[in-house]
A and B are shown apart, each in its own frame.
Chain A
């Protein structure tokens, strides 16, 4: 394998960081010092002396045929080195995570506003942008398909709810956007009586708007042409190997010639699971023979990655007068936008966990993912579960009101526990402390009444109220989420661990391809190696494709799966070291262990230097969680998920009912994490996930009109600031999952799911309004 010709400034180095700290400690990040010094290089910080800048020309239309493209005027701009269109893509013209349906550069038709059409490389980013603006694209503009239900040709709501929705006569609004039609996936869950009846029934429809991941570090990377005709790509991403597979396909190159290294990642939250500038930068670098950097600005970022699926959902809950759930029927539509991305898996989660962590004997769920000409939607933290949680938790509150019951009592009465059967027929075979999570929340003290200080009122220093018209509300929500990849996916990670003595001190090196996106996986890798190998110094090798796949940094899976791989590789290394020590000392291996840089046994302390000498012991292995299986396509039954994460929130809000302004006063959260590998990082995940859930509940939405994005900027797409986030109370439970390494549970997504529905419930309680759409806007509260 040939080495890169040159290494850019900002290429990642080995991370060491402060020594010490095994699992269960607040070990500090190995990249922390670099980050606070401003020396940690993100994808957008990469730099080479002779690099060019690449930019993308994107479609201004959500749906159009391309009659012609004239790149001549762009090529004539001084400083421009290349202008490329789909004709210049040497390999497969389309790519995708699950279905290869998304063009690298538009071929004949554009299906969403912002679809990449052409690329320019120039010696200054402004030159490249100016040149791109001179490319002449002749479009025949078509009417876009913009409603997911209409796109499938379904009537607005299925009149006979027991039957599958039928595709009606195709109309303009359901024109086929792809050869196979507009249905990406239809998931069915069928359990129990198909025609159940109940004493009390509540039926409502809910809508969730399109949320953006809004990671702060823009899509960025640097492609460097290599002497072997291949390319080195340094890129901020979530899954190096799935990127590599798609890039190879588009470039028509074998994996040996497409070598990826993870550049610094400024947040991800699902938005980097699909390709963005990856292939584009490689194409430009290979064409020009020069390194090419691409870095989106914020506006382009809104068009450059997939978003959270907007959802429209109709739920019917039936219960006995005592409050026992009898049945749930749900019809769920996810708008997948123009290309599939991970819509099939989002539908999988949305459907199989679509009624929440409750035990229900009779269930009928239809969950659809549809193509439209809206922006493509795919992975975002919570992945299909965030949307349905707004619906099923709102339903639990509506049902409690209809029954005259306390909402928490109703939840506890129907809550899942270990041994319960999920709607997939899967028996929950590890702790499921849903009741305890809720009861602990209830027992927490409530925040004080709002102090007489403008800064704590809805509207804050805008001076919009002095307390008149302000009502307080309290809401609860609980949720669950599958951890890791489901439905039979071969979900594994690879770890290479080396133990050696350097300068008299034992050092372990951990090499995985698992993307560190800010969550702290590099810290966890060090902690596991310290615990398993009894050494203080652990070096984290740069993340690259020189080692096998680690799978995606998504689905709350890396601490579980890559953590499991690192643990297993460490155990293999330890086995070798102890075997050597056994040979040296004549002691049985079973009496020896590694501790504090030595092999120890009763009355024995043999420094590793004496066992290893100049040798390094290295092991590379793949590790898998126990297998899952595909669900039955007609009933949705099967062992679909390997693990569930549970969390609950209590939200307290003050609402200015006259102006429709919401102030979240406090968020409280309880979560079972199985085992907190790094308690400080666990709290950080809960706090951050809570903020993103709160954002979706009250402010975050990409507004789409006729397929066009109305607010692609941080001026108009609002995410919570430090003024919007209240103080939090958090209790972390640690009930070990016997199937997982150290008993741990994935942490990152659950708190993002239960947070928003709790805020919505609290606003509902404060206002008495039904509120079936998020984000809640002032006009929803004032009726104006």
Chain B
């Protein structure tokens, strides 16, 4: 089948997509966007988290056909050529990146959380952060520096 959608603001069209393929597979193997990760491919780890029409989803659980005509945002779309997104910079500054396999999914989930929280008027508190990121597994960091990174990102994004 043919799939037409928008990825990180650019229109995309791919042919010969097998109906059983996930959005994650299409992004990684057919669109040359391997930034979204494939740690479990069953919706448990969050490493494949992308925006689908502005809502974070596990792209491994989205059938490619369900993305038809929709807008997708991946980790590759967060930074500009010149500078990192504040969430990306905060993860680096806080030391929240070790192996980095969970990072792309966490960056998208964090961006969503912080954006929503700030729109509601306040940076997220610890308990909210833990609840929001409970679907993103990390095996390296023990999560402490991820919490630090989220708070740092929220502080910087609030100041903008």
* Chain A residue, CB-CB nearest to B90: A36
* Chain A residue, CB-CB nearest to B135: A721
Our pick among A37, A214, A453, A719 for the contact of B76 (Cβ within 8 Å) is A37
B36-76 Cβ-contact flags toward A at 8 Å (1 or 0)? 11111110110100000000000000000000000000111
A31 adjacent to B41 (CB under 8 Å): no
Q: What is the number of residues of chain A that contact chain B, defined by CB distance less than 8 Å?
A: 64
Interface residues of A in 684-730 (CB under 8 A from B): 684, 687-692, 713-715, 719-723, 725, 727-728
* Chain A residues in 8 Å Cβ range of B82: none
How many angstroms between the C-alpha atoms of A269 and B99 in the bound complex? 11
Q: Assuming A38-B75, A721-B134, A722-B146, is B99 touching A266 (CB within 8 A)? A: yes
How many angstroms between the C-alpha atoms of A32 and B145 in the bound complex? 14
* Chain A residues in 8 Å Cβ range of B99: 215-217, 265-267, 517-518
Query: How would you classify the secondary structure of chain A's contact residues: helix, strand, loop or mixed?
Result: loop
A721 adjacent to B137 (CB under 8 Å): yes
Q: Assuming A36-B91, A40-B100, A124-B18, is B75 touching A455 (CB within 8 A)? A: no
Any chain B CB within 8 A of the CB of A108? no
B39 adjacent to A266 (CB under 8 Å): yes
Report which residue of B76, B104, B144, B146 has the largest number of chain A beta carbons within 10 angstroms of its beta carbon: B144
Any chain A CB within 8 A of the CB of B122? no
Q: Quote the shortest CB–CB distance from B66 to chain A (angstroms).
A: 18
* Chain B residues in 8 Å Cβ range of A47: 29, 32, 34
How many angstroms between the C-alpha atoms of A519 and B100 in the bound complex? 10
Q: Quote the shortest CB–CB distance from A668 to chain B (angstroms).
A: 12
Our pick among A36, A295, A455, A687 for the contact of B144 (Cβ within 8 Å) is A687
Report which residue of B104, B131, B142 has the largest number of chain A beta carbons within 10 angstroms of its beta carbon: B142
How many angstroms between the C-alpha atoms of A58 and B35 in the bound complex? 30
Report which residue of B37, B38, B104, B139 has the largest number of chain A beta carbons within 10 angstroms of its beta carbon: B139
How many angstroms between the C-alpha atoms of A478 and B95 in the bound complex? 27
Any chain A CB within 8 A of the CB of B10? no
A727 adjacent to B144 (CB under 8 Å): yes
Q: Quote the shortest CB–CB distance from A670 to chain B (angstroms).
A: 16
Q: Assuming A216-B39, A267-B139, A690-B142, is B131 touching A32 (CB within 8 A)? A: no
Query: How would you classify the secondary structure of chain B's contact residues: helix, strand, loop or mixed?
Result: loop
* Chain A residues in 8 Å Cβ range of B20: 126
A713 adjacent to B40 (CB under 8 Å): yes
Our pick among A213, A461, A715 for the contact of B131 (Cβ within 8 Å) is A461
* Chain A residues in 8 Å Cβ range of B140: 267, 518-519, 684, 688
A32 adjacent to B97 (CB under 8 Å): yes
Q: Assuming A216-B99, A723-B131, is B39 touching A715 (CB within 8 A)? A: no
* Chain B residues in 8 Å Cβ range of A172: none
Any chain A CB within 8 A of the CB of B136? yes
* Chain A residues in 8 Å Cβ range of B127: 453, 455-456
B34 adjacent to A216 (CB under 8 Å): no
Q: Assuming A41-B34, A688-B140, A719-B137, is B88 touching A36 (CB within 8 A)? A: yes
Q: Assuming A37-B75, A217-B101, is B133 touching A269 (CB within 8 A)? A: no
Our pick among A37, A519, A689 for the contact of B79 (Cβ within 8 Å) is A37
A298 adjacent to B142 (CB under 8 Å): no
Report which residue of A38, A47, A124 has the largest number of chain B beta carbons within 10 angstroms of its beta carbon: A38
Q: Assuming A267-B99, A453-B127, is B141 touching A687 (CB within 8 A)? A: yes
* Chain B residues in 8 Å Cβ range of A9: 32
A722 adjacent to B143 (CB under 8 Å): yes
Q: Assuming A215-B99, A684-B145, is B136 touching A32 (CB within 8 A)? A: no
How many angstroms between the C-alpha atoms of A26 and B38 in the bound complex? 30
* Chain B residues in 8 Å Cβ range of A782: none
* Chain B residues in 8 Å Cβ range of A269: 139
Report which residue of A10, A28, A40, A519 has the largest number of chain B beta carbons within 10 angstroms of its beta carbon: A40
How many angstroms between the C-alpha atoms of A216 and B46 in the bound complex? 11
Top 6 closest pairs, chain A to chain B, by CB: A38-B35, A518-B99, A266-B101, A687-B142, A35-B100, A38-B75
Taking beta carbons and an 8 Å cutoff, which residues of A are in contact with B? 9-10, 26, 28-29, 31-33, 35-42, 44-45, 47, 124, 126, 213-218, 264-267, 269, 295, 297-298, 453, 455-456, 461, 517-520, 680-681, 683-684, 687-692, 713-715, 719-723, 725, 727-728
18 further A-B contacts with Cβ under 8 Å, apart from A38-B104, A45-B28, A266-B99, are A36-B97, A38-B36, A38-B76, A42-B101, A44-B34, A126-B20, A216-B47, A216-B102, A266-B100, A455-B127, A455-B130, A518-B140, A680-B95, A684-B98, A688-B140, A688-B141, A719-B137, A723-B130
- 18 A/B residue pairs, CB under 8 Å, sorted by A: A29-B97, A36-B103, A39-B35, A213-B139, A215-B139, A216-B45, A295-B38, A298-B39, A453-B127, A519-B140, A520-B98, A714-B39, A715-B42, A721-B137, A722-B129, A722-B134, A722-B138, A725-B143
